[in-house]
Chains A and B, each alone.
Chain A
Amino acid sequence: MVFDWFKKVSKDYPKFWENYLENFEQEPSELQPKRYVVFDCETTGLDHRKDVILSIGAVAVLDNALIVNDSLELFLKQDLYKTETASIHGILKEGKEEKIVEAEAIIRFLEFIKNATLIGHNVNFDIEMINQALKRLNVGKLKNDSMDTDAMYQKFKGLQEDQHSTLDELCKILKVEKSDRHTASGDAYITALVFLKLKKRLDIK
């Protein structure tokens, strides 16, 4: 990009972050269907200050379709490792999956999501986990719009703000078949199906 160095006025960001930010400068196209990315992070725990990401699963949704080959599945190397959560998510410290360091995972995640609207169940937690990792890379926070499937369901049913539903409950209500729960890409896939059903019901374009 010719104008690249004009923008680097305030702070000298790394290249990956520049690339990521550029996605948000394009005008949204009317002709192309809006891209959604449904994602889920498996983490060592629920404390975003202490816990870290173990794996990320993400898949794109266009219109009424989930695009299988537009998906991402990452397993992270880590130093902090709790044996008690391994029984839930099944990721062993030295598992057979190819593992990458957190920085590389985050870069690949940003490359994948681009300016898509992020979808997740309790998505704010997952976004916060990513933001913490971004902080460790000394860059800004995620810029993407986001939608939470829990909030979507509340809206669809007219529930109070404090009436929350778990992903398992939504699966049951919306008749989404569960399997592979508690792997990041398994949960991302299930959440994506929940999202497809809610999206149609709420008539979201």
Chain B
Amino acid sequence: MKNSIAERIADFLKNFPPFFSLIYTELVAISNEIQVIHVEKNHVLFKIGDKTHPFFYIVKEGAIGLSVTSDAEETLIDKCDEGDILGLRPFFAKDNYLMTAKAREESLLYAIPIEVFKPYVSQNAEVLNFLLESFASNTRNPYDKENKGKLISENVIYTEQSSEIQYFQPISYTKTPITASGKDIVKFVAQTMSQSKIGSVIIQENNLPVGIVTDKDLRSKIATGLFPIDIPVNQIMSAPVITVPENISIAETQMMMLKHNVGHLCVTVDGTNKSKIMGIISEHDVVVAQANNPGVLLKQTKRATRSKELKAVREKLNDLIQNSLDKNIPIQHISSLVGEINIAITKRAVELAIEKMEKEPPTRFAWMNIGSQGRKEQLLMTDQDNALVFEDVEEQHYDDVKKYFLELAEKVTKTLHKVGYEFCPAEMMANNPMWCKSVTDWNKQYNSWINKPGEKGILMCSIFFDYDFIVGDASLVDLISENIFANVHNNQLFYAYLGTDALKNPPPLGFFRQFLVEEDGEHKDTFDIKSRALMPLIDAARLLVLSQAIKGINNTYQRYKKLAELEPQNADLFESCAEAFSTLTLFRTEEGLANNNNGRYLNLNELSKSDKVKLKNAFQPIRAIQDAIKNRFQLTYFT
């Protein structure tokens, strides 16, 4: 019998994966079994631990938020809107939901019965792959609104916390602990521990934890002769044993150990000693969990005495980036972590160079990172760009002082090169006499760029206006900043030049929404994500913060965030630029990690269809911000 409603639903489904892989009559047959669910705002569709529904869902209208809970804190990890699928868990797992789905606004959902859809999954490889991939991998960026057509996995526990993310990850621990009964004889328990090479044994009665025996107990109570070796172990065990629930984070593990002054925690089903033993966490587990953690890397950097050690840190940093990407930590967090470590490495390189100079610096100075390093956007190994400023000195000492700092810079850049930062081909480094000078000379330099903004000057602006103090005396850098902001204030001509420069790269899509690819040369037919997509956003952000006299924010993402805060009426635009910048950085970083290069040229053939869509969506804010700049600085008259 004809069912117009089912046909109407099929018309909707056919636009979205995986449904577009099915033929229309199949879609109508599926649609016929669908329920159209209405949920009001804040209605909970399912929550963590709920038994799975006989349906999975596709959002017709509205938005559903997915969240996970760790340490009793709810963290939103994704938002599903039109065409997004959720609740796939029952396809692949028999256990309960691991996420909470809650309506963020009034929504309509199509509930598709799992049993109805299963045959199409097994018959259609594309559908199966889509569901499997989506279930096995998380989305690239949980905050990415452009995530259309990519499913949300519900098997990954993920929490987002500012800079110490790894701390809040659940800790991994021994899930099959060796236990003993309280009546077991100490000697045999000790033998078991030696054979299994473990430092502790949980003492259980009916599978409930009643105590723990550790190396320390054996040392202080048996080896000292306080107790004989052939008594039941419950006479020397430490009781009660400290118990914790599953999914405890690294941070909380450490807190529990400190609070109770113990080295071992027993994991039980509900976290009390009245429920079944699930595992044991030792101090060693905490140490393992923290290897490759940013704090450890920072510490290693500070202790490094040779460039080789710094190089080891930089190499581990790549693993940290890859791990963080795998854990779906937002790219801007990864950027700031990596930025901090890059700074620490540079700082240490400068300190080591000063030691080698065998002579203290003759006057105060500051080492600056410029360009992408200055913006803390350098995730991959790229060139080093840096500059040095020293205090004004009397003219007769100037040459000597400059000579000292050039020598120092030579050492630093060499060290950085050994660590893995390539020399800048344009020699924008502090060992170049051009970029190693006194405060007054720097101010003259900046003023000439600002007041005579020829094309060359503008190119310099794009590099030297993103500077970040690394080591030395920060007040020298402040002097430079003050001079810049005093000179650019209301300087329409300068803004016009910067604006024109920011518009030099058109939005990266052609008339038919196809990618503009490189037409010739070594990178023919690849997409230059750096100059076509990232640079327009970076240049626009720089211009806008300069014109707003926003000081001290060098990072493009943070610049847009700040702009959104200052101009609520344009907040949407700036937020979308920030998001787009994150998405594009992520693409570049993944490309770079995969090919061990700087990730500048994307091979479009290697991108999946949904990645291409995501890329294109990230391009949209570029056009919008360029239009905004055109209007704001009245560039139509200028160009």
| A residues neighboring B (CB under 8 Å) | 57, 59, 64-69, 71, 73, 97-98, 175, 177, 179-180, 183, 185-186, 188-189, 192-193, 196-197, 200
B2 cross-chain contacts in A, Cβ below 8 A? 73, 97-98
B184 interface residue per 8 A CB criterion: no
A177 cross-chain contacts in B, Cβ below 8 A? 61
- In the bound assembly, the distance between CA atoms of A177 and B62 in angstroms comes to 12
Closest to A196 in B: B38
Chain B 27-38, CB-CB to A under 8 Å as 1, else 0, gives 000011111111
User: Is the pair A200, B5 in contact by a Cβ cutoff of 8 Å?
Assistant: no
How far does the Cβ of B240 sit from chain A's closest Cβ, in whole Å?
A: 46
B3 cross-chain contacts in A, Cβ below 8 A? 68-69, 71, 73, 185
User: Is the pair B39, A185 in contact by a Cβ cutoff of 8 Å?
Assistant: no
B8 cross-chain contacts in A, Cβ below 8 A? 179-180, 186, 189
28 A–B contacts, CB within 8 A, in A order:
A59-B5, A64-B37, A64-B38, A65-B35, A65-B36, A66-B36, A66-B38, A67-B35, A68-B3, A68-B31, A68-B32, A69-B6, A73-B2, A175-B106, A177-B61, A180-B4, A180-B8, A185-B3, A185-B4, A185-B5, A186-B4, A186-B8, A189-B4, A189-B8, A193-B36, A196-B38, A197-B106, A200-B40
User: Is the pair A64, B39 in contact by a Cβ cutoff of 8 Å?
Assistant: yes
Give the residue of B5, B6, B33, B37 whose beta carbon is less than 8 angstroms from that of A65: B37
User: Is the pair B38, A65 in contact by a Cβ cutoff of 8 Å?
Assistant: yes
**What are the 7 A-B residue pairs with the smallest beta carbon separation, nearest first?**
A196-B38, A66-B36, A185-B4, A65-B35, A68-B34, A189-B5, A64-B38
Closest to A66 in B: B36
B108 cross-chain contacts in A, Cβ below 8 A? 193
- In the bound assembly, the distance between CA atoms of A64 and B4 in angstroms comes to 21
A97 cross-chain contacts in B, Cβ below 8 A? 2
A68-B9, A197-B106, A200-B40 known; A73 and B4 CB under 8 Å?
yes
A188 cross-chain contacts in B, Cβ below 8 A? 5
How far does the Cβ of B455 sit from chain A's closest Cβ, in whole Å?
A: 52
Chain B 343-377, CB-CB to A under 8 Å as 1, else 0, gives 00000000000000000000000000000000000
B interface, by DSSP: helix, strand, loop or mixed? mixed
Closest to B105 in A: A175
B111 interface residue per 8 A CB criterion: yes
Chain B 320-332, CB-CB to A under 8 Å as 1, else 0, gives 0000000000000
B1 interface residue per 8 A CB criterion: yes
Closest to A183 in B: B4
Of the listed residues A65, A175, A188, A192, the one surrounded by the most CB atoms of chain B closer than 10 A to its CB is A65
How far does the Cβ of A182 sit from chain B's closest Cβ, in whole Å?
A: 12
A73 cross-chain contacts in B, Cβ below 8 A? 1-4
Of the listed residues B3, B5, B34, B37, the one surrounded by the most CB atoms of chain A closer than 10 A to its CB is B5
Interface residues of B in 25-65 (CB under 8 A from A): 31-40, 61
User: Is the pair A69, B33 in contact by a Cβ cutoff of 8 Å?
Assistant: yes
- In the bound assembly, the distance between CA atoms of A193 and B444 in angstroms comes to 69
How far does the Cβ of B9 sit from chain A's closest Cβ, in whole Å?
A: 7
Chain B 1-21, CB-CB to A under 8 Å as 1, else 0, gives 111111011000000000000
B6 cross-chain contacts in A, Cβ below 8 A? 68-69
User: Is the pair A71, B40 in contact by a Cβ cutoff of 8 Å?
Assistant: no
B31 cross-chain contacts in A, Cβ below 8 A? 68
A68 cross-chain contacts in B, Cβ below 8 A? 3, 5-6, 9, 31-36
Give the residue of B5, B37, B106 whose beta carbon is less than 8 angstroms from that of A71: B5
- In the bound assembly, the distance between CA atoms of A177 and B107 in angstroms comes to 12
- In the bound assembly, the distance between CA atoms of A73 and B5 in angstroms comes to 9
* Contacts beyond the supplied A188-B5, A189-B4, A200-B40: 7 A-B pairs with Cβ under 8 Å: A64-B37, A64-B39, A66-B36, A68-B32, A71-B3, A97-B2, A177-B61
